[in-house]
Structure 1
Amino acid sequence: MDNQEITKKNDSFSRRSFVKTTSLATGGILATSLPLETMAQTGKVKKLKLAVVGCGGRGTGATVQALTADSDVELVAMADAFKDRLEGSLSAIQEHFEGERKIDVKEKNRFVGFDAYKNAIDMADVVVLATPPGFRPMHFEYAIAQDKHVFMEKPVATDPAGVRRVLKAAKLAKEKKLNVVVGLQRHYQKVYTTLYDQIKQGAMGKIVSGQVYWNGGGVWVRPRQEGQSELEYQMRNWYYFNWLCGDHILEQHIHNIDVANWFIGEYPTMAQGMGGREVRNGKDHGEIFDHHFVEFTYPSGAVISSQCRHQKGCHNRVDEAFQGSNGSVVISKGIIKDLTGAEKFNYANVKEGEHDPNPYQVEHDRLFAAIRSKSEVLADAENGAKSTLAAIMGRMATYSGDIITWDQALNSDLQLVPDNLDWNSQAPTLPDANGKYNIPVPGVTKFS
């Protein structure tokens, strides 16, 4: 999401209406024990301090959603590697709430650089972590150590070493009763939760197979600018470098792989597949593939076919479909059928109103309601880490052409993100004399 997507120009209705209807309709602060008016009169509402780490489009959008979820949240600090990104984000957030709410982050609380996250996190009660995912493990680890509630984007790491760090911090977060929401928003999307409940109640029997898709034309490219160091160029064009992004099978397709894990109730034990670079293979496309196809095998014997593609002019589909012992479902259609093809359940028949709540907003509504009420603790981090590992396992399989097991991936010594980076550091991957990067080759690339 670009910054302009959340500005006043693109609002379909007033921000005051959005703030009221979104937070009230989906729970928000009304999950607390006192009515809003009573809390305001008695002064019992604590002003929650919010910090955002990573001020790109998603960080900007998530901050708007966090501020919308609870009227007693104040944005107190921002952090990013780049000052221009931070200032652009702040301007977009201010424009979104113009005339509705004052957003003022003091100059001294706008932190820039590789260690800026520590300063921002230290000031807050709740943090939004939305940098490129390679940095997520260290940011999450620090936030939990400092006793902060967290919203963090997916994926939560780009390598197995990072996944292990997140799993360790997730355990500590549970012990401390800190709320953690991960941006796998389908878990907060009504059509998914409704269909999941139907399947768990036996509407289509045991899931034995499925197909998950993220096929589209691809995303932005940020060409190299004059005067940029190699490290700055890669961080600006982060989607195309594995230490930062993890490839699109991880950065985007994790959503669909996660749905398979969720609906089956297991994580895959094995992956094998194929992939490559067919049409997106320029210098600014770094080192990632433009297509992946993976078969994931689960402990129960279920097999999921997973495909993602970044190729323009091709058939596009972002969806999940599953076949069970007594029926099947296509999520985008919202319909469960029996083995004869007869309709057993149709989400359209139970849907309330023309539009379901925005799941990106519901994530934040639920997070702040949990913080306020203290009656539940949201703990998304473990699943976020394990679904991240499943997607990494798929990437390892397509890059190598080998069968990759869950244990092999989890215990791999692969570490893509260096410790203690600063602007004098060498970039983790370097181009050759022709400006091309080393591309994984199936049958040659190996993983331990």
Structure 2
Amino acid sequence: MNRRNFIRSASILSTLTVLKPEIVFATNNNSTVRIGLVGCGNRAAGILGSMSENANIRVVALADLFEDKLEKGIAFANTLNQKRNYAPVGKNNTYSGHDAYLRLLENKDVDAVIIASPGYSHPQMLEDTVAAGKHVYCEKPMAIDADGCQQIIKTARNIGNRLSAFDGFQVKFATPYAEMGKRIKRGDIGDIVTVQLYYFSSGAPIIPHEGMSYDEMRIRNHYHFHEISGGCYLDQAIHMIDTCNWILGTTPMYAIGDGTKKGGPDFGNAWTNYQVIYKYPGDINVSVHSAKFGKVFGDVCARFIGTEGIAEAHYSGGVFINGTHKWDSGIVRSAAELTPESIAQGASSSSLDDADPNKGKAFIDSITTGKYLNQLESGCNSTLTAILGREAASKQEKVTWDELVYTPHRIDPNLDLKQFTGK
């Protein structure tokens, strides 16, 4: 299957099928949404597992570049289907190789597609998925460069609300974050003066790659390669950036920054740490510190400092407001405070327990009710904000928003995907 033939058939297919989901689902909220999965790695399992537990879905098709990843994905999907008393994924509905996702998109049994492949592939996969008339949930980052984001924004504007199209930014769907955001927006911390964001993570493992081609080695170790994943700033700090953009309700005007590859393995080209400062409208300065190396996971936090209080949210360590309008989400601030009794009563030190479940359910509900939602442009604005910071750091100079979005900016992964023939 090549893209020329796919585009020809998809354009015909989409005109015939784009209204079908509304007809099928709008009158029956209990209808099963049939899922096709593109990319069968760890993040895919997380999305799919959570979605299956909290919404009525059936996995009917899977695609991956690599046969071994596909087989693991099939086994996991069949486990999920079995729990819901659905049949295993059909052998003719599993695809590997460079054109695997295109063949999956031709499958008429697929209602919605989850894209969980490396970031470089997202813009084209999104465009093709929408062309095939499928609802789509695409993991972050939306792209690894500004041109890719512009491609997705164009796709988003073309589909409007004819399909549900979700990004993979789930943090603001967590109940504690949602409540904190509501309180900040209604003025509980007064005027926001400055914001501090940070994400301190352990390093990504190196997948053994003896005997692999250079391209296969980079794809399987995509977190270590800037041109495949976009780097750690687009993988992790981007979550806090999305949270910031959501609460401030805007995007930055410019960024300055720095960073290094220090502390990381002698492998790949992705940086291990970034320090970026953004200038947002209203004279709000936002600092971002991102690190991904070593063996110890640190902390993740978004802290909003206002004239009447400070609001902060940690992945583990509480979500609360100190100041004139004091508030606490009830998330335990230290795991050491947890006891078997408190855990049995629902206590937790994680503020993200319901983030993936809420996001996944919202996606499926939007399909089954016919109330389609299109989040792609918002997701691209958060991705562009992260790209702006990464570019300012790598160039060690000020980069404005307009310079980024109005100047051609493409990172070529330089991959020969046709070497992966698959089945």
Following TM superposition, by how much is the alpha carbon of 1:312 offset from its aligned partner in structure 2, in angstroms? Answer: 2.5
- How far apart, in 2, do the equivalents of 1:110 and 1:314 lie? 37
The equivalent of 1:62 in structure 2 is 47
- How far apart, in 1, do the equivalents of 2:26 and 2:89 lie? 30
- How far apart, in 1, do the equivalents of 2:176 and 2:362 lie? 17
Per-residue displacement from partner, 1:371-417 (whole Å, max 9, x unpaired)?
1112x332221111110011111110111101011111112322124
- Which structure's relative contact order is higher, taking Cα pairs within 8 Å and 6+ residues apart? 2
Aligned: 1:411 with 2:411: no
**CA, structure 1 residues 277+167, in 2 after alignment: closer, same or farther (shift >3 Å)?**
same
The equivalent of 1:165 in structure 2 is 151
Per-residue displacement from partner, 1:51-74 (whole Å, max 9, x unpaired)?
000111111222233333433x33
- How far apart, in 2, do the equivalents of 1:421 and 1:410 lie? 28
From 249, 259, 262, the equivalent of 1:275 is 259
Contact map agreement 2:40 2:69 (CA 8 A) in 1:
yes
State the AA in 1 paired with 2:166.
Answer: V
- How far apart, in 2, do the equivalents of 1:207 and 1:81 lie? 46
The equivalent of 1:260 in structure 2 is 244
Aligned: 1:147 with 2:140: no
Contact map agreement 1:78 1:110 (CA 8 A) in 2:
yes
Aligned: 1:110 with 2:94: yes
State the AA in 1 paired with 2:394.
Answer: Y
- How far apart, in 2, do the equivalents of 1:328 and 1:148 lie? 43
From 380, 384, 391, the equivalent of 1:385 is 380
Aligned: 1:248 with 2:243: no
- How far apart, in 1, do the equivalents of 2:75 and 2:297 lie? 37
Following TM superposition, by how much is the alpha carbon of 1:122 offset from its aligned partner in structure 2, in angstroms? Answer: 2.7
**Stretch moving more, 48-57 or 93-102:** 93-102
Contact map agreement 2:175 2:354 (CA 8 A) in 1:
no
From 162, 178, 187, the equivalent of 1:177 is 162
Contact map agreement 1:144 1:172 (CA 8 A) in 2:
no
The 5 Å alignment of 1:68-83 reads 68-71=53-56, 73-83=57-67
Following TM superposition, by how much is the alpha carbon of 1:218 offset from its aligned partner in structure 2, in angstroms? Answer: 1.6
Q: Unmatched 5+ residue regions in structure 1?
A: 1-31, 426-448
Identity rate, percent: 27
State the AA in 1 paired with 2:388.
Answer: M
Any idea what SS the aligned residue of 2:408 has?
coil
Per-residue displacement from partner, 1:131-174 (whole Å, max 9, x unpaired)?
01110101111111222111111111001111111111111232
The equivalent of 1:307 in structure 2 is 289
State the AA in 2 paired with 1:372.
Answer: T
Q: TM-score, normalised by structure 1?
A: 0.78
- How far apart, in 1, do the equivalents of 2:292 and 2:30 lie? 47
**CA, structure 1 residues 315+82, in 2 after alignment: closer, same or farther (shift >3 Å)?**
closer
- How far apart, in 1, do the equivalents of 2:180 and 2:30 lie? 36
Contact map agreement 2:51 2:356 (CA 8 A) in 1:
no
The equivalent of 1:4 in structure 2 is none
- How far apart, in 2, do the equivalents of 1:359 and 1:154 lie? 15
User: In angstroms, what is the RMSD of aligned CA positions?
Assistant: 2.4
**CA, structure 1 residues 97+145, in 2 after alignment: closer, same or farther (shift >3 Å)?**
closer
- How far apart, in 2, do the equivalents of 1:45 and 1:419 lie? 45
- How far apart, in 2, do the equivalents of 1:33 and 1:392 lie? 38
**Stretch moving more, 158-167 or 405-414:** 405-414
The 5 Å alignment of 1:320-359 reads 320-332=302-314, 333-338=318-323, 344-348=326-330, 354=347, 358-359=354-355
**Stretch moving more, 118-127 or 250-259:** 118-127
State the AA in 1 paired with 2:358.
Answer: V
Q: Unmatched 5+ residue regions in structure 2?
A: 1-24, 332-344
State the AA in 2 paired with 1:277.
Answer: K
- How far apart, in 2, do the equivalents of 1:420 and 1:222 lie? 18
- How far apart, in 2, do the equivalents of 1:55 and 1:83 lie? 10
State the AA in 1 paired with 2:381.
Answer: K
Following TM superposition, by how much is the alpha carbon of 1:315 offset from its aligned partner in structure 2, in angstroms? Answer: 8.1
The equivalent of 1:239 in structure 2 is 223
Contact map agreement 2:78 2:89 (CA 8 A) in 1:
no
Q: TM-score, normalised by structure 2?
A: 0.83
From 198, 214, 239, the equivalent of 1:230 is 214
State the AA in 2 paired with 1:150.
Answer: V
Per-residue displacement from partner, 1:169-192 (whole Å, max 9, x unpaired)?
111232x42112212111211011
- How far apart, in 2, do the equivalents of 1:302 and 1:405 lie? 15
Any idea what SS the aligned residue of 1:244 has?
helix
